[in-house]
Structure 1
Amino acid sequence: MNTSSAYRNSSSAGDTTQRRILVWDAPVRLFHWLFAACFAGAWLTAESEHWRLVHVALGYTAGGLVIFRLAWGLVGTKYARFSSFVRGPASVWRYLLGILRGHPQRHVGHNPAGAVVIVAMLALACALTMTGWATYNDVGGNWPGEVHEALASIMLALVGVHVAGVVVSSWLHRENLVGAMLSGHKSGHPDEGIKRVWRSVAAIVLASVLAFWWWQWQVAPAPIAPGSNAATSHQTDRDDAD
């Protein structure tokens, strides 16, 4: 197991130096909350034709955020990199056994079980974006839409598992993991913290998302006002079709 991401035994002399350290950089935290907001918004607007363009924009945004997260998982800070938390089945099993035996091993970054859920969510988000694009552009018939809905339900279930895991881990280790993802700080040894917040990268990501939303707003078709000639023509076409 990666000793850089797991706490030393609580009986070690080094515990006297534990203090508040920086764990989650700004890009990771921004991705986490923006992705959560995009998925929630896309889920709530999925069945509404009136909000279809919002649904599509949020879906594309989530897909773009995942692309960024995959890149940052390769070149980002210590606990952002996949190499720091993605482990094999044996590590996941040992971690789960520790929980069952009442001796869970605390990790400064993501624990091995949480990493499985995170990777699954990233993969599902990619599949959701592709099937959503195919559905919106009428590519491939009806099956992309059906797959898209099924994947969205699986993603919602994974979100539930993720939230439950955060609650359980927060209780087991007596720490506020939600607060840590907001502030970026947790308790640990001084040599375990990261050095830079990378606010500049987070600012670029946020500016890109806002620019994309602005562009989507600009190219969105204007709504048809009731009583207008276009609305009357549209209603006539529908009546003729019926």
Structure 2
Amino acid sequence: RIWWGFAGSRTARFSQFVRGPNSVLAYARTLGARPGHSSDGHNPLGGWSVIAMLAVLVALVTTGLFAIDIDGIESGPLADYINFDQARSAAEVHETAFNITLALVGLHIAAIAFYFGWKRLNLVRAMITGRRAVSEGETVGDLRWSPVKALIGIVIAGAFAWAVSKGFRF
């Protein structure tokens, strides 16, 4: 997802949906309005939700790679690069990041339900298909995504996952 935030379609790019505090506050003031206004990609508040979720997931995965259990039996593939106490600290941060991830996923699902129930916007369909309902007379720009860039991202992610699973020992 991080790769796609730089190389993906127009609506998937971080530059399209990460906005400053004034935009977020202005958008937050409109949350009670009904019906909602459809927009391409994430709204300013949702954009920061994506950033929060990605940050916590990076912390979760990174600490999981170095974590070790109390008995020292189960450990992440990179745990032997650090000492036991550091690996235990990584495990504690990993657990905290997991709980924060659960909370953020719950908040994400609640937001989707809110938009569907209150604002009458089907965000799930838009997430799956990449298309949203368009109002009469409204025009929507082309998404312009590249299958080549998508394939490059998949190859990079696969190669990195393989290297990590081997503990970067080839």
Q: Same fold (TM over 0.5)?
A: yes
Structure 1: unaligned runs, 5 residues or longer: 1-68, 220-242
Match of 1:78 among 3, 7, 10: 10
Number of equivalenced pairs: 148
Answering whether residue 93 of structure 2 is matched by residue 152 of structure 1, we say no
Aligned AA for 1:193?
Answer: G
User: TM-score, normalising length from structure 1?
Assistant: 0.52
What does residue 142 of structure 2 align with? 194
Q: CA RMSD in A?
A: 2.8
What does residue 181 of structure 1 align with? 127
- Distance in 1 between residues matched to 2:153 and 2:6, nearest whole Å: 16
SS for the counterpart of 1:158 is helix
Q: Which deviates the most, 110-119 or 174-183? A: 174-183
Structure 1 residues 211 and 88, CA, compared in 2 at 3 Å: closer, same or farther?
Answer: closer
Match of 1:91 among 23, 26, 50: 23
Structure 1 residues 184 and 101, CA, compared in 2 at 3 Å: closer, same or farther?
Answer: closer
Q: Which deviates the most, 124-133 or 102-111? A: 102-111
Structure 2: unaligned runs, 5 residues or longer: 68-75
SS for the counterpart of 2:29 is helix
From the two aligned structures, give the one with the greater helix fraction. Answer: 1
Aligned residue runs from structure 1 range 1-242, under 5 A: 69-102=1-34, 104-135=36-67, 136=76, 137-138=79-80, 139=82, 140-188=86-134, 189-190=138-139, 192-206=140-154
User: 1:31-65 CA deviation, whole Å, 9 max, x = no partner?
Assistant: xxxxxxxxxxxxxxxxxxxxxxxxxxxxxxxxxxx
C-alpha contact 1:85 1:111 (8 A) present in aligned 2: yes
User: 1:60-95 CA deviation, whole Å, 9 max, x = no partner?
Assistant: xxxxxxxxx323322332111112111122222222
User: TM-score, normalising length from structure 2?
Assistant: 0.71
Aligned AA for 2:114?
Answer: V
User: 1:190-238 CA deviation, whole Å, 9 max, x = no partner?
Assistant: 3x2325343444445556667888x69xx8xxxxxxxxxxxxxxxxxxx
Identity over aligned residues, as a percent? 38
User: 1:103-148 CA deviation, whole Å, 9 max, x = no partner?
Assistant: 6443221011111110001111111122111112153141110110
- Distance in 2 between residues matched to 1:164 and 1:211, nearest whole Å: 35
